[in-house]
Chain A
């Protein structure tokens, strides 16, 4: 018996168990920060209304091969740059621009460490004050699917999500039935307030942040 417990495999196993008991569980959920709807919309609005002018340094990204920018030096831009994989707050984006980093990136491969901005789920993660960037595929873990009439009962700060693809933040309804959403849109290379029709959101699921406070 003693020989069995003393075997190298057993020592490793017992050590792992001991470490497991001593350390907090990795999957333990962190408490979510309560956020008011007005605060969510404020974050999105400020990102969409942020005005900036790219310098020549902001239009070149040394760490991304074949980097392409949609902007010209000195061109007036409204809205934080779309940066695939990014989650820069407004302040961080401003600082990174000032330090000469590239504004935004659409590239799916390779590093984007030298580019600044935010992508669709990064914008939602900022608006909901999440502790890290949640993607469109795991945002469900911090939100609840809405069983409401989405044509009349969405509230500002709710999101419309298509896992693996895109997510937008609901802002308001229009009288003709279209809606206004905040989004970090790759097509527009920036955060924008978009007036859109429902068919553009075919297959999307409405979600509400679990710690929403009205």
Chain B
């Protein structure tokens, strides 16, 4: 249960990707990556556009009420009239590329290798709605039933007492504001005592006419490095039925748009609390279906 802490260094250059789906490299669309710090559009490097995941790992889900689920399977309670399905909502990526997925109905964490092979179950006495790997051997878990935050070691032992504030959310969290129907601005606060100025603000703009930016989220950022943002957009003007598309972009240290993953699946069977993780230039998405959880991955470096 180890994971490298912090972000990897990213070479800001034209991306050469392997295993990409259609598109490959394409020129930037008008309006994309309008950052105050980005060079004029004619000087921009070509961005990489992806659709289908580079890889997909499948983890089976068994019904909690149907006898004894297999040890290595996640568990769920199926949907019923006026009742959403209940089951795994959160995951994190380990240092070796394996996964840790919360199995709240059996109050445990399940560890899988990078190819999806079941490694072990870590019993915790908490129905976890969120799990985050901290350092080499600890995980932070949020209880679905109480909202209380608790640290556990790799054997499932409690580390310290329950808390109400996360150890990983911090004062350095960026501020995200939609400033128009088609754009948003991300700003980073001054770190206390830091000599270097904060990262310049990043302007994120939808290029497509008729599209509306519904929400903007920073998945991962580092003041000196790359930024991954998730965007929800719609072309239905948001009337009578909610229909969205999801896009993830990676911006380089200078605010240059470098890669874009489009048409990310959003019709989860069980809605995730933790949908995306990034490790070493790979974007991971947890996506649930009725009988399995998929971990989709895009290698965008």
Contacts and interface: CB of A to CB of B under 8 A. Distances in A.
A145 B240 contact: yes
B237 interface: yes
B82 A121 contact: yes
Given A75-B146, A135-B82, A177-B184, A149 B243 contact: no
Given A150-B239, A198-B244, A200-B271, A187 B129 contact: yes
Contact of A70 (B127, B213, B267): B127
B114 interface: no
Interface in A70-127: 70-72, 75-78, 84-85, 106, 108, 119-121
B253 to A, nearest CB: 22
Contact of B238 (A70, A84, A150, A199): A150
A205 B170 CA distance: 35
Interface residues of B, number: 46
Nearest to B84: A166
B266 interface: yes
A118 to B, nearest CB: 11
B145 A199 contact: no
A178 interface: yes
Contact of A187 (B86, B177, B267): B86
Interface centre among B65, B86, B89, B145 (most CB of A within 10 A): B145
Please report whether the interface of chain B is mostly helix, strand, loop or mixed according to DSSP: loop
A177 B81 contact: no
Interface string B84-125: 101001000000000000001000000000000000000001
B195 interface: no
B158 to A, nearest CB: 13
A199 B217 CA distance: 12
Interface centre among A106, A119, A177 (most CB of B within 10 A): A177
A188 B244 CA distance: 25
A183 B218 CA distance: 25
Contact of B217 (A135, A187, A190, A197): A197
Given A177-B178, A189-B145, A106 B77 contact: yes
A162 to B, nearest CB: 9
A135 B81 contact: yes
Nearest to A179: B215
Interface in B31-89: 65, 77-84, 86, 89
Contact of A84 (B83, B127, B243, B266): B83
Contacts of B139: none
A151 B79 CA distance: 28
B17 interface: no
B301 interface: no
B176 A120 contact: no
A112 to B, nearest CB: 12
Contacts of B175: 175
B242 interface: yes
B132 to A, nearest CB: 17
A190 B157 CA distance: 26
Contacts of B266: 199, 202
A65 to B, nearest CB: 10
Contacts of B178: 175-177
Interface of B: 65, 77-84, 86, 89, 104, 125, 127, 129, 144-147, 175-178, 184, 212-217, 232, 234, 237-244, 246, 266-268, 270-271
